[in-house]
């Protein structure tokens, strides 16, 4: 890895490219690239999204290679790496290495530079967080904590799937606390960075300073705490940090991709501490909230996009707000480039990969049937057979219950998949839900199958 050289060569090549290209083209397509590293004869270049990547590969690759050969006297292979929203490194690399891009589309698409003092992204505020049923509880908890740190809920534990706004909401608390002057010393850090600093401190024998740094803050925001999984020494260290902050009435906020009890290899004493305060989940936003988020992002970028484009994106990208945003960016990049309104067909082509990823993210009814059949060791065909022995009836009811609570499928769709009536599905779901309250074995079985399907039991929605 050779970042310095990558920077130097790229800066030189940019001078050539600037001469060779129209200023507008240069600022739109070249100035937005950030040199990453050199590996062998490959120069890795960072771009914001895959749209830039494919456009550059199709249109500017030969020119870039020529410029690189001219400045370095050797041939380079180019690898474009997509690093969307990697704000801190991206902004820093950009400042060092390439001429300032003009305030064109890029300015509007990219988040503003983060507040380096706090390492908080200025865009992740309460006012830019769109609230809907899937996140209103977490949002209310975040507001309460920012009003009264260490008094309302301590610790605050926010969990949820990727791209559902955990980092955004956590940083929004940080901003709100700063604005209201409710804490003096605030620290936001990802758990991974914390671990790296810890290892560094161990090597440099500066563990005392490390401890001091984190045990003297008023508000500690630790992002992606699930990273502690299986790492015993940092868990031990964090246990003491947690205790000393908690005892001193300092606020601790953590995010995780799953509930503490489901983080593998997390010590029980940490699990219980993480659950002392308030645990809250961010769920997938419903259609209305997805539309509200898209409208908000559109206003934020000062762009105007046809409602039908927004509706198409909101209907098709359901599982991840980051992906939802990515789809909008892709659509507006395309429109600005072609200066044409987007037709539905063009939009479908443009978002084909995103839509495919979405489909993978959704669990299918047949995947649930398979997982349940495997768990109870029955045949898949039994799921839709008309036979009713108890050995089959219970697994079948469990499968219907999971289909209802883990997927957005309608009752008629589920009924068809099981070759049953709508009423049978409703009855099955109620029966499983009621029995789980009194039958811990059944509850454990449902939990095990959900985990195998990659879903936490907490993702189960009450069925009605």
Task: In angstroms, give the least distance from the CB of 297 to ligand ADP.
Answer: 7
3-state secondary structure of 128: coil
Q: Which residues have CB under 8 Å from 288's CB, separation 6+?
A: 132
d(CA 34, CA 53): 12
405 makes contact with Mg ion (CB under 5 A): no
Which CB, 135 or 369, lies closer to ligand ADP? 135
41 burial via Cβ count (<10 Å: 0-12, 13-18, 19+):
exposed
- Exposure class string for 254-270: b at 16+ Cβ within 10 A, else e: bbbbbbbebbeebeeeb
The sign of the torsion formed by the CA atoms of 129, 132, 134, 136 equals: positive
The sign of the torsion formed by the CA atoms of 43, 47, 50, 51 equals: negative
Number of C-beta neighbours around residue 423 at 10 A: 10
Which CB, 84 or 395, lies closer to ligand ADP? 84
Which CB, 221 or 252, lies closer to ligand ADP? 221
Q: How far is CA 331 from CA 130, 140, 395, 448, in A?
A: 21, 33, 44, 40
Binding mask 107-146 for Mg ion (x = CB under 5 A): ----------------------------------------
- Selection from ligand ADP, Mg ion, none that 164 binds (CB < 5 to 8 A by kind) is ligand ADP
d(CA 166, CA 142): 11
Task: In angstroms, give the least distance from the CB of 433 to ligand ADP.
Answer: 28
> What are the residues facing 282 on neighbouring strands?
160
- Exposure class string for 112-127: b at 16+ Cβ within 10 A, else e: eebeeebbbbebbbbe
Question: Which among 210, 224, 214 has a CA at the least distance from the CA of 185?
Answer: 214
Task: In angstroms, give the least distance from the CB of 310 to ligand ADP.
Answer: 14
What are the structure tokens assigned to 215, written together? 């045990």
Task: In angstroms, give the least distance from the CB of 19 to ligand ADP.
Answer: 36
- Selection from Mg ion, ligand ADP, none that 165 binds (CB < 5 to 8 A by kind) is ligand ADP
Task: In angstroms, give the least distance from the CB of 259 to Mg ion.
Answer: 16
Task: In angstroms, give the least distance from the CB of 293 to ligand ADP.
Answer: 5
Which residue's CB comes closest to ligand ADP?
165
Task: In angstroms, give the least distance from the CB of 322 to ligand ADP.
Answer: 4
CB 70 within 8 A of CB 78: no
- Exposure class string for 440-451: b at 16+ Cβ within 10 A, else e: eebeebbbebbe
- Selection from Mg ion, ligand ADP, none that 436 binds (CB < 5 to 8 A by kind) is none
What are the structure tokens assigned to 34, written together? 């950030």
Which CB, 37 or 166, lies closer to Mg ion? 166
- Selection from Mg ion, ligand ADP, none that 168 binds (CB < 5 to 8 A by kind) is ligand ADP
Task: In angstroms, give the least distance from the CB of 321 to Mg ion.
Answer: 11
Binding mask 149-178 for Mg ion (x = CB under 5 A): -----------------xx-----------
> What are the residues facing 251 on neighbouring strands?
219
Which CB, 155 or 163, lies closer to ligand ADP? 163
d(CA 129, CA 142): 11
d(CA 324, CA 304): 16
Interface size with Mg ion, residues (CB under 5 A): 2
Which residues are at the interface with ligand ADP (CB under 6 A)? 85, 124, 128-130, 135, 160, 162-168, 293, 321-322, 325
Q: How many CA atoms lie within 13 A of 291 on its CB side?
A: 9
Query: Which run of H or of E encompasses 256?
Result: strand 251-256
d(CA 49, CA 52): 6
* Phi, psi dihedral angles at 85 (to 5 degrees): 60, 20
Which CB, 178 or 293, lies closer to ligand ADP? 293
Which CB, 147 or 286, lies closer to ligand ADP? 286
- Selection from ligand ADP, Mg ion, none that 395 binds (CB < 5 to 8 A by kind) is none
- Selection from Mg ion, ligand ADP, none that 418 binds (CB < 5 to 8 A by kind) is none
3-state secondary structure of 185: coil
Which CB, 38 or 164, lies closer to ligand ADP? 164
Which CB, 99 or 111, lies closer to ligand ADP? 111
- Selection from ligand ADP, Mg ion, none that 163 binds (CB < 5 to 8 A by kind) is ligand ADP
241 makes contact with Mg ion (CB under 5 A): no
- Selection from Mg ion, ligand ADP, none that 457 binds (CB < 5 to 8 A by kind) is none
Which CB, 7 or 167, lies closer to Mg ion? 167
Task: In angstroms, give the least distance from the CB of 284 to Mg ion.
Answer: 15
Which CB, 306 or 357, lies closer to Mg ion? 357
Task: In angstroms, give the least distance from the CB of 85 to Mg ion.
Answer: 10
- Selection from ligand ADP, Mg ion, none that 162 binds (CB < 5 to 8 A by kind) is ligand ADP
Interface contacts to Mg ion, rule CB under 5 A: 166-167
């Amino acid at each position: 890895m050779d970042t310095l050289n990558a920077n130097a060569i790229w800066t030189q090549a940019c001078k050539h490219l600037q001469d060779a290209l129209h200023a507008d083209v240069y600022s739109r397509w070249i100035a937005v690239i950030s040199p990453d590293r050199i590996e062998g004869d490959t120069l890795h270049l960072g771009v914001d999204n895959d749209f830039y990547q494919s456009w550059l590969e199709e249109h500017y690759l030969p020119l870039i290679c020529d410029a690189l050969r001219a400045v370095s006297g050797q041939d380079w292979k180019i690898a474009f790496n997509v690093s969307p929203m990697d704000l801190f490194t991206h902004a820093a690399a950009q400042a060092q290495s390439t001429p300032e891009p003009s305030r064109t589309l890029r300015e509007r698409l990219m988040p503003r530079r983060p507040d380096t003092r706090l390492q908080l992204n200025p865009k992740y505020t309460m006012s830019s967080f769109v609230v809907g049923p899937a996140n209103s509880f977490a949002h209310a908890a975040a507001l309460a904590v920012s009003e009264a740190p260490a008094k309302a809920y301590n610790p605050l534990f926010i969990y949820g799937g990727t791209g559902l706004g955990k980092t955004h909401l956590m940083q929004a608390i940080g901003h709100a606390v700063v604005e209201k002057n409710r804490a003096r010393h605030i620290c936001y850090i990802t758990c991974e960075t914390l671990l790296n600093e810890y290892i560094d401190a161990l090597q440099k024998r500066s563990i005392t300073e490390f401890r001091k740094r984190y045990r003297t803050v008023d508000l500690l925001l630790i992002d992606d705490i699930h990273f502690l999984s299986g790492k015993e020494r940092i868990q031990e260290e964090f246990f003491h940090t947690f205790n000393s902050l908690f005892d001193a009435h300092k606020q601790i906020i953590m995010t995780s991709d799953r509930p503490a009890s489901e983080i593998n290899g997390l010590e029980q004493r940490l699990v219980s501490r993480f659950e002392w305060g308030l645990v809250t989940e961010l769920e997938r936003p419903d259609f209305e909230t997805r539309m509200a988020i898209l409208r908000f992002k559109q206003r934020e970028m000062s762009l105007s996009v046809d409602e039908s484009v927004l509706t198409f994106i909101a209907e098709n990208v359901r599982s991840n707000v980051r992906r939802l945003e990515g789809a909008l960016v892709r659509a507006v990049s395309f429109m600005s480039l072609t200066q044409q309104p987007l037709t539905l067909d063009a939009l479908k082509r443009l978002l084909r990969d995103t839509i495919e990823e979405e489909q993978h993210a959704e669990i299918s009814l047949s995947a649930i049937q398979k997982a349940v059949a495997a768990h109870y060791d029955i045949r898949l065909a039994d799921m839709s057979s008309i036979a009713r022995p108890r050995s089959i009836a219970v697994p079948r009811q469990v499968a219907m219950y999971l289909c209802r609570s883990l997927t957005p499928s309608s009752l008629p769709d589920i009924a068809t998949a099981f070759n049953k009536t709508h009423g049978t599905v409703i009855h099955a779901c109620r029966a499983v839900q009621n029995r789980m309250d009194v039958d811990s074995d059944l509850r454990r079985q449902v939990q095990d199958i959900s985990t195998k399907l990659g879903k936490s039991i907490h993702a189960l929605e009450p069925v009605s």
